[in-house]
Chain A
Amino acid sequence: MKEKIGVYICHCGGNISDYVDVEELSKMFLAEENVIISKDVMFACADSNQKAMVNDIKENNLDAIVVASCSPKLHLHTFKNVASRAGINPTNYVQVNIREQCSWPHSDKPKDATLKAAGLIRAGINRVSHSESLDNIEIQVKRAVLVVGAGVAGMKAAIDLARLGNDVYLVEKDYFVGGRIAQSEKLFMSGQKGKDIIAKLFAEVKSYANITLFTGATIEKVTGSLGNFHVDINIKPLYIQSNANPTTLKAAMNDCPITVDDEFSFGFKKRKAIYKNYDEACPDVPVVDVEALRDADEFLAKYASIFDFTQQDAVLSLHAGSVLVSTGFDSYQPKEGEYGYKTVPNVVTLPEFNKLMALSPDKLVFNNKTIKSVAFIYCVGNRQAKGENKYCSRQCCTSAIYTSIQLNENYKNITAYHLFRDIRTYGKQEILYEKSSKQGDIYIRYDEKEPPVVAQGAKAIQIKVKDFLTSKKELEVEADMLVLVTGMVARDDSKLISEKFKIPIGNDKFFNEIHPKLKPVETVIKGVYIGGACQGPKNISESVQSSLSAAAKINALLKGGTVSLDPIIARVNNDLCVWCGKCAEVCEYTAIKEVEEGDKHIARVNEAICTGCGICAPVCKPNAIEIAQYTDMEIESLIDGFMQEVTLTDKETESHEEAENETLKMKEFPQMWKNILQSIDGGKKNIPQIAEEISVDTDIVTYHVMTMNKYNVVMADGMDEKEAYYFYKRKN
């Protein structure tokens, strides 16, 4: 129970005091027995008042303060800091909002506004009198990071985290690193090959002793929380002897009699049953396709020395302080028959086409046909107003256009038709669009409502399209090949990852950040960050940017070895708790666990995970759970305070207008008013002149001069020569 409370009621320069009788209120609360100081102030937030508050607190040994002013959104931290500076725990401060909740909405009924304000302030006083001093929670954190996904985003983040001195566990589902980049060929804008970038990154990853890479590994189980995650990973075997002779390995790869369709190359070529995704794939150890090799006894016998079929899945437990999820994306897979995909020959997706181009260095031939013209249809599986994927994938326009430029560079006399909805080659990528136009690519704009119709013609694919740019003229394009420019979708296994780490998934099925602008790589799970295209469509530079920003965030978090958390969390009263499990059931953060305490089972809140959302408190039958700062005592006294009868001294006769015309009775003017008055004492001046003389922004001067004018401190005195501003002088 607080004995010495200070109450400050703000005029807000008339914003409040025009309708709420702040003077009466300040007198009223002085009568409360535990209120030592009650003042009405012109601007509570003004520096001078803040200083005065600190002095008051120190002189009178106040133990709690209440400020009745504007919304806590504006000044909660201002006054919490005042409390800190004066030596009071900031949790012993309550802000009451009498501007947005009283004077502004009830300006038509000043008396009722005052009554409501009285109730709210008394509620605040009651609440603060039961408040307790709380300190931030300190948690020990392990300086190790789990990075899920070794694509370009994951590898870049791993390298930087390692460089900053963190241990990094880099976990990759595939047997080889690089993800989609390794699968892509030449990349816009630089024209570098994906494989080369990955090889460079892999060399760098290898050079750090504090990065441990696990390939062929999946996340099995996640427990723990911020600072101390315990993650079990499952590592699939390679079935290759760890000490196998590299030359024999190579010979085996060449000799292997069994070939299957190469999924990595979209089935455009075959691969051996003992293989690497591509020749330079990292790490440099092949994988054995056990299923395919089942009957190749002769081959297996010949190279028995390199194989080890006794190997089994291994489960490893990792301990990390934080997690970066960078699992990437999937390419949209068109449905059968969507723009003739799989039903009309020579219809492929953009990633497939790029791979095909890479496999055909000199001449572009597909299905025994020399390709002389290629049509691209944009926004396939993207930007569907009524479909599943409403978003734009950002990178596909540029990617398709870059492919078209390469077509022109690699092969001679190929015509490209681009059937687009909008071209979104933002930023520097616009150069590519211009280059493509200038090389003679034909752009035809279609409307989403009337998409192109694809059919097999006698000689080529026939595409009928209504050109939006030529008054919807019906056009027919003949092309030897049709490329569907597909966008990005969330990985089909992203749901699994989301369940393991409790990362929320958005409507678009990508992982959700907390705030797209202010917390772009943080998730609602403390210590779990997202980077790259698992969050939503991104190009490579954007992916890397986001994962690096997550890396910086993680490093800042783990660097000190401890983390300081807000103390507003759930607390369990061990005596009352009977462990019914209801609280754990409703907790979305899995912050509540059952523990054994002495002879009984009770609930325990993990301080590192709890966000103080409060969902557990109302479901607790024995009322054993409460939220710090929102205890029953505080809330009930708050309600009592609000319901208490208030009587105002009778001022009915004094009308609102009269009050306005009356000269303001202030003990002392704010410093700004003094400055303004001093400036116009030398003679009449207009607002820009005052602003210049006292070097303050004209908007601020205008605000104060208007208030002073309203309270008859100054008055207008004619207009300036240009009739743009009034001159003001002091009113006597």
Chain B
Amino acid sequence: MAIVNHEFANEIIQYGAKEFKACFNCGTCTAICNLTEKNANFPRIFIRKGILGQKEEILQSKELWLCYACGDCSVNCPRQAAPGEYMAAMRRYAIAGYEPTGLTKLIFKSNPLSIVITLLLAMVLGFFLFTMKPEMEVARWIFKYLPYEIIHTMGLIIFSFTGLSMVWGMLAMIFKLRKIAPKESKTKKSFFKALSAVIAEMAMMKRYRVCDEEEDSFWLKKPLMMRPWAVHWAIMWGFIGLLIATALDFAFKDPATTYWLPSRLLGTIAGILLVYGASMAIIYRRKKITRTYQQTTLADQMLLFFLWIAGITGFWLEVAVFIDADTIVNHIVFVIHTIISMELVLLFAFSKFAHAIYRPIALFFYNKS
């Protein structure tokens, strides 16, 4: 027996699903969705769960993460209840729900707070950077007021705080999904089969491509490179590529100056992908090219903007290092690049970015059952 909780609906609205209460359960969203499978009630049933306030069931569902927000349901909804936006809001709710600190809630629910938190984090990170170069004049001036150890430890604490939150969130999600996963099922697949299916999906995102290829869809007539699938793919692999390149650079303690080194080559290609993807995504949001891009949150916009800045400043620095221009401008760009990149990593657990972890987990459970 589940108790109906009417207050939950108001909470979901704060996560961005402003119109979902208008839903009258016709099921058009389910019928129109390319990803609906044989238990045909997705996404309708999730709106139902939201209206009835069944929080736990929402946190326990892998299906939330199977949606790629193509927006067809929102376009076709007869009551303009925007099921697509609702699904996105529920993912935000789930990110906030898995992560233990409550920071995500603040970031998603309040725009001013999300700006304050980002700026605060940028400041702390800036100070932390100075602890890496304590001999600088500005650094020495700061350390007069705040001891070096405090700032350095604080930075380390923040990094481990993020890491721990992420791990906690992952575990929380796995724990919840396991709870409702069928124990004995004939169709149950092995662990490795499910894992390989997740990796295959991450590599090419076949399901996402299905969304763009809807009959009469806006994107079907556009070149492949312009479709949301390609844009998302570029951002994702661009970011992963850059992470690997940075890690390699860091490992060899040599910010390589020769562009043909494998890690540099990878960094360049990945950077191009990231800047392309982020630019396209920003342009689409600006132009509101389809229904999906009409409604977006400040936190999501900021994330894209940071990715773009990180990419652009990265290229700037690459050129600067190549021509060996040790100027103040380049130093500032370097500081910005580092702060933004670190901020991206730090906000990982507390932003839309977290879907990079949660979606594969959901896909794993989906493939396993």
Contacts and interface: CB of A to CB of B under 8 A. Distances in A.
Interface of A: 373, 415, 417, 423, 433-434, 437-440, 442-445, 464, 467, 469-471, 473-478
Interface string B252-294: 0000000000000000000000000000000000000000000
Given A469-B48, A470-B45, A440 B2 contact: no
7 A-B pairs closest in CB distance: A415-B6, A438-B22, A469-B25, A476-B3, A477-B4, A470-B48, A476-B1
Interface in B16-70: 19, 21-25, 41, 45, 48-49, 51-52
Contacts of A475: 1-4, 52
B24 A433 contact: yes
A416 to B, nearest CB: 9
A476 B51 contact: no
A437 B48 contact: no
Contacts of A473: 2
Given A434-B79, A476-B2, A440 B10 contact: yes
12 contacts: A373-B6, A423-B24, A438-B19, A438-B22, A439-B21, A442-B4, A442-B51, A445-B25, A471-B41, A476-B2, A476-B4, A478-B4
Given A415-B6, A442-B52, A475-B52, A437 B1 contact: no
A444 B41 CA distance: 16
Contacts of B51: 442-443
A434 B22 contact: yes
Given A467-B52, A475-B2, A438 B24 contact: no
A443 to B, nearest CB: 7
B73 interface: no
B45 A437 contact: no
B52 A470 contact: yes
Given A442-B4, A478-B3, 16 more contacts: A437-B21, A437-B24, A437-B79, A439-B21, A440-B10, A442-B9, A442-B51, A443-B25, A464-B1, A467-B48, A475-B1, A475-B2, A476-B4, A477-B3, A477-B4, A478-B4
B51 to A, nearest CB: 6
Question: Interface SS of chain B: helix, strand, loop or mixed?
Answer: mixed
B192 to A, nearest CB: 33
Interface residues on B, range: 20 to 34
Interface in B89-136: none
A464 B79 CA distance: 28
Contacts of A417: 4, 6
A443 B47 CA distance: 12
A543 B222 CA distance: 57
Nearest to A467: B52
Given A433-B24, A440-B21, A442-B51, A474 B1 contact: yes
B151 to A, nearest CB: 48
A469 B4 CA distance: 14
A466 to B, nearest CB: 10
B4 A444 contact: yes
* A423, A442, A445 interface centre (most CB from chain B within 10 Å): A442
Nearest to A464: B1
B267 to A, nearest CB: 50
Given A415-B6, A440-B10, A442-B6, A470 B49 contact: yes
Nearest to B25: A469
A478 B25 CA distance: 22
A444 B5 CA distance: 13
A467 B51 CA distance: 12
A471 to B, nearest CB: 8
A269 to B, nearest CB: 31
Contacts of A423: 24
Nearest to B49: A470
A440 B4 contact: no
Nearest to B7: A415
Given A433-B24, A469-B48, A440 B6 contact: yes
Contacts of B49: 470
Interface string B180-197: 000000000000000000
Contact of A438 (B2, B21, B45): B21
A703 B25 CA distance: 49
A469 B23 CA distance: 12
Nearest to A439: B21
A441 to B, nearest CB: 8
Contacts of A373: 6
B38 to A, nearest CB: 14
Contacts of A477: 3-4
A246 to B, nearest CB: 52
A433 B22 CA distance: 9
Nearest to A468: B25
Contacts of B19: 438
Nearest to A438: B22
A444 B54 CA distance: 14
Contacts of B41: 471
Contacts of A444: 4, 52
* B23, B49, B51 interface centre (most CB from chain A within 10 Å): B51
A679 to B, nearest CB: 45
A525 to B, nearest CB: 45
A477 B49 CA distance: 14
Contacts of A478: 3-4
B349 to A, nearest CB: 32
A440 B52 contact: no
A411 to B, nearest CB: 15
Nearest to B45: A470
A376 to B, nearest CB: 14
A474 B52 CA distance: 11
A287 to B, nearest CB: 46
A444 B48 CA distance: 9
A267 to B, nearest CB: 31
A576 to B, nearest CB: 71
A461 to B, nearest CB: 13
A478 B22 CA distance: 22
A433 B19 CA distance: 15
Contacts of A434: 22, 24, 79
A442 B3 CA distance: 13
A471 B27 CA distance: 13
